[in-house]
Amino acid sequence: MTIRDYAIQCIKDEAKALLDLIPKIDRNFEDAVELIYRCHGKVIVTGVGKSGHIGAKIAATLSSTGTPSFFINPLDVYHGDLGVMTRDDVVLAISNSGQTDELLRFIPMVLHMEIPIIGMSGNPNSLLAKYSSCHINVSVDKEACPLNLAPTSSTTATLAMGDAIAVALMEKRNFKPQDFAQFHPGGELGKRLLTTAHDVMITEMMPVMTPDMHLGDAIILVSKGKLGLGVAMTDENTIAGLITDGDIRRAMEKWREKFFDKTVADIMTERPKTVTPDTKISEIQRIMSRYKIHSVLVVDKERHLLGVVDHYSCMI
């Protein structure tokens, strides 16, 4: 076998391990999700070694999807960290064998505090499974490791099961993109979901004109504005309509030598798409996509023009 063959076989073995998990998602899984859903405190994830690394990732995923969670090494519990735990919490204990000594020494403390335990292991007959309120089986037939020793398929299976718990909780809580953004304010998604029109709108050198302005003069204003549009305003300083580069080009083709006799009112869109200053960028992008437009006007309650948000303003 070549190096590439070894890699392909590894991925096949781990993919099979994941698919084999499906029949193991039973009533225990449902009980575990329900236990976390009704938890009034935190989910404390714990594990040793590779299970600990997987547990830390599961805790991070839960926290970022609406379930307050953190990882704790059971060894640290013996040196004061037990104080972070309360009876309102739930413990998710991870061990491939279900017999890890350091973890099992931690279990009596949790039971003494009457904190429910969700066990996750590859051995449903283990001590961890015995003392858990519910036990999730993540056993695999074999590791992807050619020696069948290094945690590979087993850690992948555990990680996937943790993701399955997080996703089930998201659905149960009706977790929305806006909720996700609250936990990821620095990411691209967070910016799109939290940034408003007011934050990015263009307010300088607005290409404002009147409906009766001749198109020859309107072209100059549109060109100077560099937004590819012009906003027609009424005498009451409210929006009467909108013209775009495309409108001007089509008018030239239609009227040719009579083009310069026409006014803005002859080609403007009388009800252009508008948004308020508080409209989120994500919503503006949806509007642009739905109506196949490149800009929206930002207005106040009286339809006074405040600014323009174009396609490039949304690229944050």
Encoded tokens for 245: 């580069």
Residue 183 pLDDT grade (very low, low, confident, very high; cuts 50, 70, 90)? low
> Is residue 183 in a domain?
no
Q: Among residues 143, 175, 207, which one ends one of the domains?
A: 175
Where does the pLDDT of residue 190 fall: very low under 50, low under 70, confident under 90, or very high at 90 and above?
Answer: low
In the numeric block, the tokens 């305003």 are attached to 233
Mean pLDDT of the chain: 89
Query: Are residues 137 and 21 part of one domain?
Result: yes
pLDDT at site 185 = 53
Q: What is the mean pLDDT of residues 277-295?
A: 91
Q: Where is pLDDT greater, at 136 or 81?
A: 136
User: Residues in the chain, how many?
Assistant: 316
**Please, how many CA atoms are within 13 Å of residue 43, restricted to the half-sphere of its CB?**
33
Determine the pLDDT at residue 29. Answer: 97
The number of folded domains in the chain is 2
Inter-residue long-range contacts of 106-113, CB under 8 Å, 24+ positions, other chains counted:
106/46, 106/74, 106/77, 107/131, 109/77, 109/82, 110/85, 113/85, 113/86, 113/87
Confidence of residue 272 (pLDDT cuts 50, 70, 90): very high
Asked if 11 and 155 sit in the same domain, the reply is: yes
Q: Is the pLDDT at 103 greater than 90, yes or no? A: no
Tokens for 99, please give them.
Answer: 């017999």
Q: According to the model, what pLDDT value does residue 80 have?
A: 54
* Nearest residue to 282 via CA among 179, 189, 170, 201: 189
| Domain boundary pick from 107, 140, 175 | 175
Which of the 8 DSSP states describes residue 70? E
**CATH number of the domain encompassing residue 147:** 3.40.50.10490
Q: What is the mean pLDDT of residues 254-266?
A: 91
Confidence of residue 82 (pLDDT cuts 50, 70, 90): low
Which residues, 6+ apart, have CB-to-CB distance to 172 below 8 Å?
Answer: 33, 37
User: What is the value of pTM for the model shown?
Assistant: 0.63
Let me know if residue 137 belongs to a domain: yes
- Judging by beta carbons within 10 Å of its beta carbon (0-12, 13-18, 19+), is residue 230 exposed, middle or buried? buried
User: Quick one: DSSP state of residue 38?
Assistant: T
Q: What is the pLDDT of residue 1?
A: 82
pLDDT over 90 percentage in the chain: 65
**Distance of alpha carbon 314 from alpha carbon 202, whole angstroms:** 11
Asked whether residue 227 is domain-assigned, the answer is yes
Burial 15-34 (b: 16+ CB within 10 A, else e): eebeeebeeeeeebbebbbe
- Is pLDDT at 305 greater than 90 in this prediction? yes
Q: Is the pLDDT of residue 184 over 70?
A: no
Tokens describing residue 307: 């600014």
Rounded Cα distance, 269 and 232, in Å: 9
310 in the same domain as 221: yes
What CATH number is given to the structural domain containing 248? Answer: 3.10.580.10
27/145 same-domain check:
yes
Band the pLDDT of 108: cuts 50, 70, 90: confident
Give domain status of residue 29, yes or no.
yes
- pLDDT, position 189: 59
Three-class secondary structure of residue 146 per DSSP: coil
Reduced to 3 states, what is the DSSP secondary structure of residue 48?
Answer: coil
pLDDT at site 79: 58
Tell me the pLDDT band of 13, cut-offs 50, 70 and 90: very high
Q: CA Rg, the chain, in Å?
A: 30
Tell the burial category of 149 from Cβ atoms under 10 Å away from its Cβ (0-12, 13-18, 19+).
Answer: exposed
Most confident of 153-157, 199-203, 234-238: 153-157
Does residue 152 fall inside a structural domain? yes
Report the C-alpha gap between 141 and 152 in whole angstroms. 12
Quote the domain boundaries for residue 79: 3-175
Note whether 141 and 214 are same-domain residues: no
Last residue within a domain, chosen from 175, 207, 229: 175
Report if residue 135 sits inside a domain: yes
Q: What is the pLDDT confidence band of residue 212, given thresholds at 50, 70 and 90?
A: very high
- pLDDT-based confidence at 205, cuts 50/70/90? confident
pLDDT for residue 316 is more than 70: no
The answer to whether residue 297 is domain-embedded is: yes
* Res. 74: pLDDT tops 90: no
Band of the pLDDT at 180, cuts 50, 70, 90? low
pLDDT band of residue 308 (cuts 50, 70, 90) is very high
Q: Is the pLDDT of residue 76 over 80?
A: no
